[in-house]
Amino acid sequence: MHISNTMSELLKKGANIFFNKRSHLVTIKSFLLIVFLFNSFISFAKEIVISPGEDAQERLQEALILMNEGDTLIIKSGYYSFEDGLSLDVNNVTVTGEGMEETVLDFKNQQSGAQGFLVTSDMVTLQDFSILDAKGDALKVIGSKGINMINLKTEWTGGPKSTNGAYGFYPVESEDVLIDGCVAIGASDAGIYVGQSKNIIVRNSIAQYNVAGIEIENSYFADVYNNLASHNTGGILIFDLPDLPQQGGHHIRVFDNKSIDNDTYNFAPEGNIVGEVPRGTGIIIMANSDVEVFNNLISGNGTVNLSIVSYGDETDDPNYYPHPKRIQVHNNTYGPSGFDPDIQTGELAKSLFEISNGNMPDIFWDGVVPLSQMIFGQPNEEKLIVSEDSEVNFLTISPLKYILGFSNPIRTEKEEFAGTVEPLSPITIDGI
């Protein structure tokens, strides 16, 4: 049960009054009144139970509409088939099933709605159920402050197909986002996607057989840790794109993850930017600043384990900065990569294969910086830092040499990118 911020503050104030030595009978009465109001608030909060059976869709949607702040909606174990999407717009509520394998919401017969489940309210906890075969996105959250997604599963059960929904977990324009213990399978864009948001934690989750396993896009302050991204096209993507209300993604920590064996062909619908990601990519950082990648296992990715690149397409957005800066890569473990580069998808793998003569590195930086920095050098505070074991292969390009047609524009000595790692601060969310 959630307790409203207002009632919590009232209780705190009441306690302060009560324990003030100068207070007398009046303040004691005031405190007791506050306690009474607080208990009254709790008494109004209720549990609503939905069980499988006739008219389950209508009963569940009605319950989602009629919930009050503080309520808990329990969806009992069972199989639920829906023809319409579900929506929630009530603050400070919990919607819980009885386990992701026990409470199953199936949308394969969905006729209306752009997503399976839409949330547009604050202080919401969703936990312990599955969403299968949504017509569009499985679980979309818009403009929420305080959204907890715990032990949930999204899946398209027919395997990788371009007709699958774009996103499994899809919080956008939100704040204080927690995704914990979740499973995402089969999304034609990203299994777990957080976009244009801030204060984000994605942890203890599994993303498999998506185009992008986990993607943080145009977001501020995110921790991505203790996740498994495997058998996707690309495992973990940290992107920043132009022409969006929030851009300039920064302060992202990616650590203690396994991004391994990402070997699924790119099945994104034509025209999607994620359709440029080559099969067999472990981690890609594009156009973000202040990103720290450490203590990850990155292995079995047929194209490249880790890429750091600029945004390469034309854009008319005057406020967009397309180059990564202040990227720190350290203490990761690398396994085999580059053994089956996907030179048919996008330009990354094709260009890297040509430049390296097929000797694909563990870490690739495209070296692209503004023209002034090509000539005069990068400011020290913006430089890439790579602190990895000596056997880790590294490759970057000297853009000016490449543009001028020099015979050897590549650099493979990562020692010149050694520096002092300055760890980013952990992300904290109140109550987590």
- How confident is the model over 192-216, as pLDDT tens digits? 999 999 999 999 999 999 999 999 9
The pLDDT of residue 31 is 52
Query: Is 60 exceeded by the pLDDT of residue 5?
Result: no
Distance CA 401, CA 413 (A): 16
Higher pLDDT, 46 or 16: 46
Query: Is 80 exceeded by the pLDDT of residue 42?
Result: no
Please give the C-alpha separations between residue 400 and each of 164, 336, 357, 375, in angstroms, as whole numbers. Answer: 42, 31, 20, 8
Q: Which of 190, 293, 295, 279 is nearest to 231 (CA)?
A: 279
Would you list the DSSP string of 323-347? S-EEEEEES-EE--BSSS--TTSTT
Q: In this predicted model, what pLDDT tens digit does every residue of 277-310 receive, in sequence order?
A: 999 999 999 999 999 999 999 999 999 999 999 9
Q: Which of 123, 165, 126, 171 is nearest to 146 (CA)?
A: 123
Distance CA 136, CA 416 (A): 47
Query: Is 70 exceeded by the pLDDT of residue 409?
Result: yes
Query: Is 60 exceeded by the pLDDT of residue 266?
Result: yes
User: Within 13 Å of residue 303, how many CA atoms lie on the same side as its CB?
Assistant: 34
Q: What is the mean pLDDT of residues 391-414?
A: 79
Distance CA 268, CA 118 (A): 22
Q: What does the buried/exposed string (b/e) look like for 357-380 if buried means 16 or more CB atoms within 10 Å of the residue's CB?
A: eeebbbbbbbbbbeeebbeeeeee
Residue 383 φ then ψ, to 5°: -70, 150
- Crossing angle (nearest 10°) for helices 25-44 and 5-18: 160
Distance CA 278, CA 405 (A): 26
Higher pLDDT, 270 or 32: 270
- Cα Rg of the chain (Å, integer): 24
Higher pLDDT, 46 or 14: 46
Residue 1: pLDDT band (50, 70, 90) is very low
Nearest 5°: the CA angle 367, 371, 377 is 65
Neighbours of 10 (CB within 10 A): 17
The pLDDT of residue 41 is 46
Which fold does the domain 136-417 belong to in CATH?
Pectate Lyase C-like (2.160.20)
Q: What is the mean pLDDT of residues 105-131?
A: 96
User: Tokens standing for 371?
Assistant: 């023209």
Higher pLDDT, 126 or 36: 126
Neighbours of 58 (CB within 10 A): 10
User: Tokens standing for 9?
Assistant: 């503050």
User: Tokens standing for 157?
Assistant: 């059960």
Q: Are 208 and 258 in contact (CB under 8 A)?
A: no
The pLDDT of residue 43 is 46
User: Tokens standing for 32?
Assistant: 């007791």
What sign has the CA pseudo-torsion 6, 11, 12, 13?
positive
Q: Is the whole model's pTM more than 0.85, yes or no?
A: yes
Residue 412: pLDDT band (50, 70, 90) is confident
Helix H or strand E segment including 234: strand 234-239
Report the percent of the chain where pLDDT is more than 90. Answer: 78
**Domain locations in the chain as residue ranges:** 5-42, 46-117, 136-417
Please tell me whether residue 401 adopts helix, strand or coil conformation: helix
Which residues are paired to 292 by β-bridges?
Answer: 253, 328
Higher pLDDT, 108 or 405: 108
The pLDDT of residue 33 is 52
Distance CA 211, CA 162 (A): 10
Higher pLDDT, 351 or 15: 351
The pLDDT of residue 44 is 73
Residue 401: pLDDT band (50, 70, 90) is low
Q: In this predicted model, what pLDDT tens digit does every residue of 6-23 receive, in sequence order?
A: 444 444 444 443 444 444
Would you list the DSSP string of 373-384? HHHH---GGG--
Q: What is the mean pLDDT of residues 299-322?
A: 95
Query: Is 80 exceeded by the pLDDT of residue 262?
Result: yes
β-pair type (410-411, 394-397): antiparallel
Distance CA 349, CA 75 (A): 46
Helix H or strand E segment including 252: strand 250-255
Residue 314: pLDDT band (50, 70, 90) is confident
Query: Is 60 exceeded by the pLDDT of residue 234?
Result: yes
Query: Is 90 exceeded by the pLDDT of residue 167?
Result: yes
